[in-house]
């Protein structure tokens, strides 16, 4: 018996030791207002919604293009079959694999629940949970890379607070009992906009129901949030409660009504909250202004797309890749404090950017710290730049209009720059 006890104690010590090893993964999690990646580092979602359920053939290229533009995450529209063609388990596995290959954290959501109670065809939160349980084999083992957004906009206007609370506490219980230990995301009522404050006032009850405490709350900001004061009032309330929040959908307008998108991005940056723009492409004619790119062309950003990626607090200026992917400099914003040859960030081809223009050796390349580096402007150091609403970008050498991608970074055509 003593021998058995000693063996048990040894196993316990080994387990503790393994969990304590530097770099040991503990899955994505929530700590107060912050989302932590699998290495325990703070992760702010800066990404885009991808309409997979309706445009399945566009997703692979979209993920590649979204990552190339500097996003660190994607929220992917799936269907459980209640309203649209069911997304198969194998599709989900492929989406996760492709997103991981591009260094993107994936938020998966069931869209069929949208507006339940007002939309006659909408499914229930419970039916969404049924779907997650059905495809769980594609989800197990992906806890470092996948967030489960239980149900998209799961109630329209008018539900009671208890209805919203009970639906989500029961969903969390079922998911946890099935062994799904992923970080979970919960959407607000009122078609996601929470203008009645049901989620804001009752979020603590929902997170208390999760034995892991790993719940992110998601508000969708459209015409209800038409001013900085409206945006700040909502985000600051979650910050004051010590709860994690993401703006799971937003745009610059909605059915022609103004949305304070710049304020959303600025306040999210202030509080360390995530945001995910709606949506990559394919919106209906009356919502075409919400397309981030035209016709699924990653090289053809719309006005909204330029604002989302290149605004002062846009994705390109604020995104950092999750450290679980092994790129500590993150997304498009590298650090400048070290002297290890990567001090000015890393280009998408894996080479460090050059810090000193005198390092130029021609053809967009330089030599620093005993290795090749990529000149930040992709030229001999003398290429002109464009001051795009306060942010400097290189002028494209191969096109005069629109945004482009040259020498592993975004560039802007001279004509477009002149016409801003």
Residues with a known catalytic role: 153, 249
Contact 212, 224 (CB under 8 A): no
> What's 56's DSSP letter?
G
Place of tokens 């967030």: 147
Q: What does each C-alpha distance from 186 to 32, 145, 194, 212, 351 come to in angstroms? A: 16, 17, 12, 15, 39
Query: How far apart are the C-alpha atoms of 336 and 36, rounded to whole Å?
Result: 23
Ordered DSSP codes for 330-394: -SS----S--SS-TT-B-TTSPBBPS-GGGEEETTEEEETTEEEE-TTSSSS---EEEETTEEEE
Contact 103, 68 (CB under 8 A): no
Nearest to 330, CA basis, from 134, 156, 104: 104
Residue 34's H or E segment, with its range, is: strand 34-36
Residue 148 token pair = 């489960």
Residue 251 token pair = 């745009």
Contact 353, 347 (CB under 8 A): yes
Interacting residues of 117 by C-beta distance below 8 A, sequence separation 6+: 155, 156, 157, 158, 159
Contact 96, 142 (CB under 8 A): yes
Contact 415, 384 (CB under 8 A): no
């Amino acid at each position: 018996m003593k021998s058995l006890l000693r063996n048990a104690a040894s196993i316990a010590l080994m387990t503790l030791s393994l969990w304590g090893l530097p770099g040991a993964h503990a899955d994505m999690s929530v700590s107060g207002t912050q989302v932590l990646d699998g290495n325990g580092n703070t992760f702010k979602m800066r990404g885009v919604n991808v309409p997979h359920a309706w445009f399945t053939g566009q997703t692979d290229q979209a993920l590649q293009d979204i990552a190339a533009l500097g996003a660190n995450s994607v929220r992917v529209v799936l269907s459980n079959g209640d309203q649209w063609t069911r997304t198969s388990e194998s599709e989900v596995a492929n989406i996760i694999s492709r997103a991981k290959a591009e260094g993107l954290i994936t938020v998966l959501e069931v869209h069929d629940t949208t507006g339940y109670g007002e939309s006659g065809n909408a499914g229930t939160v419970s039916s969404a949970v049924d779907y997650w349980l059905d495809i769980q084999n594609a989800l197990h083992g992906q806890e470092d890379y996948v967030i489960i957004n239980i149900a998209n906009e799961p109630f329209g206007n008018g539900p009671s607070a208890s209805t919203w609370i009970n639906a989500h506490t029961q969903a969390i219980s079922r998911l946890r009992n099935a062994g799904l230990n992923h970080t979970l995301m919960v959407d607000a009522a009122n078609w996601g906009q929470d203008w009645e404050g049901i989620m804001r006032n009752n979020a603590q009850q929902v997170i208390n129901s999760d034995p892991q405490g790993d719940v992110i709350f998601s508000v969708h900001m459209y015409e209800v949030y038409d001013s900085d004061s409206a945006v700040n009032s909502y985000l600051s309330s979650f910050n004051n409660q010590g709860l994690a929040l993401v703006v799971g959908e937003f745009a610059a307008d909605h059915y022609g009504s103004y949305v304070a998108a710049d304020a959303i991005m600025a306040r999210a940056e202030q509080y360390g909250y995530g945001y995910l723009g709606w949506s990559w492409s394919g919106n209906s004619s009356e919502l075409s202004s919400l397309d981030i790119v035209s016709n699924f062309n990653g090289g053809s950003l719309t006005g909204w797309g330029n604002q989302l990626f290149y605004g002062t607090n846009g994705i390109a200026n604020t995104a950092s890749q999750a450290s679980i992917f092994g790129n500590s400099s993150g997304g498009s914003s590298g650090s400048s404090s070290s002297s290890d040859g990567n001090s000015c960030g890393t280009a998408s081809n894996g080479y460090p950017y050059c810090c000193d223009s005198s390092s130029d050796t021609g053809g967009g390349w330089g030599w620093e710290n005993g290795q090749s580096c990529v000149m930040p402007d992709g030229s001999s150091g003398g290429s002109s730049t464009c001051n795009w609403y306060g942010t400097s970008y290189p002028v494209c050498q191969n096109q005069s209009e629109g945004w482009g991608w040259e020498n592993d970074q975004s560039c802007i055509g001279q004509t477009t720059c002149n016409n801003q």
